[in-house]
Structure 1
């Protein structure tokens, strides 16, 4: 049954102090998680020098976080449904803060990699439940849309702030502060969680077999994608991991269909709108995030940008995300999610096509900056429309797992985008007879054309799967899944 938990607005319709505090808490939590995805990348050379980390192990400082986060998202979302979302977020924050302290104090590569994995566990408990809490804390549509816009805007800001903060902190206070900076932020968010409206935990049990299979299958899938990106699409370990992922996830789906306590209730996929949102998000995340990875390499390796200058160069991307996240809720009051998501994907596709025309001397202000703005604007529009389609109007006892599935689709899409585009860029570059700067540029250009094709596919999926309901049904005693 769908339950109305309440609203964070005063009776007079004005935003209450509690609502402002809740908005700040949700936005800061998302900012912290996204920032941590990129802030460590800039510090990797310093970490390698100080701790004498072998090159083969260095990538695991990043990958340990990605793997734990991606593999445990579904479990984190379902735990929130059954145990209580606010409580789950609070536990996740404590884990994240402790892991950040351990990372900052790390003396060996093993300690650092372990701390990053622990951060991923904390993030997996936080991310889906913060998103689900938006629907329970803000019953009023206007406030809920505002919270969702802030949540989305922090994704763009977090990436750029992470790149900038990583360069500044590493160059001034040292690389350990890219971990220590999370401690005050995490404690501030933990304090703010008291303002979030927490629905009562729902009855049910966490099926052990489903939890094991779902987590293991997702881990194998994310690991395979990561290996493909690092070692190419013929890497035997990656191929084995992909095969294991297919087998385990197939078994997972079969067990979920028969389980009385499924980790992922398959009824969520009966709504074509929600299924379409997950598929579109998977493809949409491939493009802009993969493009960001490729163009960051282009700026540093071809154009000789410093890490700090690279972070500053991506400011138009942050502006585009903020504009898209703010504009989408207004558009969705009168336009269908299908149109908004489709238009967003097309905008990002055109930006990727524009990016693909780069040369070794492409201008920043007339070429890269406007394309960054367009890419992020499309991404922001698409993410907001897809988030509404996936998590609005879902049964209260499934909101956490519905949010987790959307987060998982985005995380897997990002990993897949980086793997595919990095692989294409490496293949094209190795086959080029041009000098290194030109050969690298050819590789990046070819990868960005692939991003263009993937984003066009995302637009097609959005048009085919998403339906055109523009009205906001008010929660009633009926199941949310029957309200479309």
Structure 2
């Protein structure tokens, strides 16, 4: 009886999925409200992008540390602490009196998400026994996250237009309190095996390196070349320090040996590319629709939902094709498809009708995004030992979030640098260049596919290993 399944496990899963849905929703819903936030609060040129980027940077930069903390201190306990911090920071976001206050609060939200996400997923893993039930639970968890990303555009529009942008943050509070109240009743506490350190030095150095990098990109259009170069060198120095910390740490956040696998490196480059392109393109499209065209937040949400729908369809097709022919050709083809979609988006003008350009551009890009994300994720985990599976999964999520923050910064800087005025036509000229610049991200992903091993070669290598 001691090893019998928890009778409340499906209720526990529903509660955990609610928390996971909220975390992913918060990353996407804010994009709808960015133009409204920029109008009401004071930001420097291009500074509003810190609202989505601050969350993504802290989330991605501290995600692996958050997983380690939950393993050592107890997953349910850390989950509850993360929920309380998420609720408090959401209130602070809603009551923000300036752009700086909102960016600070969004950073706190990202920290909370960095401990919430891995602790919730770890509880899912420990609640369900290995086998069919766990696979089903993980499938539901993944589907819920996907719906969270899709729902951001649909929910954000009505909330922003009807209640005000502050309510996209206030709605988190009752959800957090509900999960906190039910967690002791439905969730079992657990800890990871063994005694390990936290590697705070590694988390601080890599997060600081990312923040300096994004700041350098954001300020590049209005800063001198010397200052931008200096910031880039500081960021590179911090990344180098992070590598040294990981080499000497007894319990590193990311054991450097994992990067000996070409599949891990290639898969994570592909995942980072999708973060770069998807977040960056979505951010620029928000600016185009609401600032250049004057589209309402509700209408923008409906217009952009086609991207999410195409991504869902693409992921279903991609999963079936990867099973048959392997991840490498699907990843490469999907990246090219997404590049074509961004090229279509670059044809938009002030007078473009939605069904003339945007609908087709978003649909094509979304289809590539869905299929390519699946291929990249499978590739990144294909050669990982069971003992490293949790860390590899966390690394994959972290690279996607970090890519999102950098992607927003880069495409926003490209748009600002190619805009010479505030008239709609002048704004659109910058946005068109930014859409076309997505090909630079696609190139990074194609390098990643070049590192993946083809299916035939992988089979030959496996046969050789068995023979040896």
Q: TM-score, normalised on structure 2? A: 0.81
Q: How does 1:455-474 map to 2 (within 5 A)?
A: 455-465=442-452, 468=455
* CA 1:332–1:439: 2 relative to 1, 3 Å: same
How far apart are 1:98 and its partner, in Å? Answer: 2.7
| Corresponding residue number in structure 1 for 2:294 | 304
Separation in 2 of the partners of 1:376 and 1:384? Answer: 13
2:247 maps to 1:260: no
2:6 maps to 1:55: no
2:193 maps to 1:220: no
How far apart are 1:144 and its partner, in Å? Answer: 6.1
How far apart are 1:468 and its partner, in Å? Answer: 3.4
* CA 1:29–1:342: 2 relative to 1, 3 Å: farther
How far apart are 1:74 and its partner, in Å? Answer: 2.7
Q: 1:345 aligns with which of 323, 335, 349?
A: 335
| Corresponding residue number in structure 2 for 1:363 | 353
Q: 2:264 aligns with which of 269, 274, 284?
A: 274
Corresponding pairs, count:
451
Conservation of the 8 A alpha-carbon contact between 2:307 and 2:363: yes
Question: Alpha-carbon deviations, 1:246-288, whole Å to 9, x = none?
Answer: 2122122123223322222223222221121111112222222
* CA 1:278–1:313: 2 relative to 1, 3 Å: same
Q: Tell me, what secondary structure is at the counterpart of 1:264?
A: coil
* CA 1:344–1:129: 2 relative to 1, 3 Å: farther
CA RMSD of aligned residues (A): 3.8
Unaligned stretches of 5+ in structure 2? 459-465
How far apart are 1:356 and its partner, in Å? Answer: 1.9
Separation in 2 of the partners of 1:26 and 1:219? Answer: 30
* CA 1:371–1:365: 2 relative to 1, 3 Å: same
How far apart are 1:97 and its partner, in Å? Answer: 2.0
Conservation of the 8 A alpha-carbon contact between 1:74 and 1:215: no
Q: 2:193 aligns with which of 202, 208, 213?
A: 202
Separation in 2 of the partners of 1:308 and 1:206? Answer: 47
* CA 1:377–1:262: 2 relative to 1, 3 Å: same
| Corresponding residue number in structure 1 for 2:149 | 156
| Corresponding residue number in structure 1 for 2:462 | none
Question: Alpha-carbon deviations, 1:135-166, whole Å to 9, x = none?
Answer: 664744652662364155235314313xx42x
Separation in 2 of the partners of 1:397 and 1:415? Answer: 29
Separation in 1 of the partners of 2:20 and 2:205? Answer: 25
Question: Alpha-carbon deviations, 1:351-397, whole Å to 9, x = none?
Answer: 11221222332221242113212212221222223223334674565
Separation in 2 of the partners of 1:81 and 1:330? Answer: 34
Q: 2:285 aligns with which of 295, 299, 309?
A: 295
Separation in 1 of the partners of 2:159 and 2:22? Answer: 15
Conservation of the 8 A alpha-carbon contact between 1:360 and 1:441: yes
* CA 1:420–1:171: 2 relative to 1, 3 Å: closer
Separation in 2 of the partners of 1:423 and 1:128? Answer: 32
Q: 2:105 aligns with which of 95, 107, 115?
A: 115
| Corresponding residue number in structure 1 for 2:426 | 439
Separation in 1 of the partners of 2:189 and 2:319? Answer: 24
Separation in 2 of the partners of 1:28 and 1:469? Answer: 41
* CA 1:470–1:7: 2 relative to 1, 3 Å: farther
Separation in 1 of the partners of 2:212 and 2:240? Answer: 17
* CA 1:343–1:280: 2 relative to 1, 3 Å: same
| Corresponding residue number in structure 2 for 1:354 | 344
| Corresponding residue number in structure 2 for 1:92 | 82
| Corresponding residue number in structure 1 for 2:61 | 71
| Corresponding residue number in structure 2 for 1:172 | 162
2:440 maps to 1:450: no
Question: Alpha-carbon deviations, 1:293-330, whole Å to 9, x = none?
Answer: 22222222332212221111111012122223344443
Conservation of the 8 A alpha-carbon contact between 2:212 and 2:234: no
How far apart are 1:453 and its partner, in Å? Answer: 4.0
2:235 maps to 1:248: no
Conservation of the 8 A alpha-carbon contact between 1:302 and 1:437: yes
Separation in 1 of the partners of 2:186 and 2:319? Answer: 24
Separation in 2 of the partners of 1:8 and 1:343? Answer: 43
2:313 maps to 1:323: yes
Conservation of the 8 A alpha-carbon contact between 2:93 and 2:166: yes
Q: Tell me, what secondary structure is at the counterpart of 2:324?
A: coil
Which deviates further from its counterpart, 230-239 or 421-430?
230-239
Unaligned stretches of 5+ in structure 1? 1-5, 10-15, 472-481
How far apart are 1:82 and its partner, in Å? Answer: 4.0
Separation in 2 of the partners of 1:442 and 1:106? Answer: 32
Separation in 2 of the partners of 1:197 and 1:459? Answer: 43
Question: Alpha-carbon deviations, 1:332-354, whole Å to 9, x = none?
Answer: 43331223322322221121122
Separation in 1 of the partners of 2:5 and 2:355? Answer: 42
Conservation of the 8 A alpha-carbon contact between 1:128 and 1:400: no
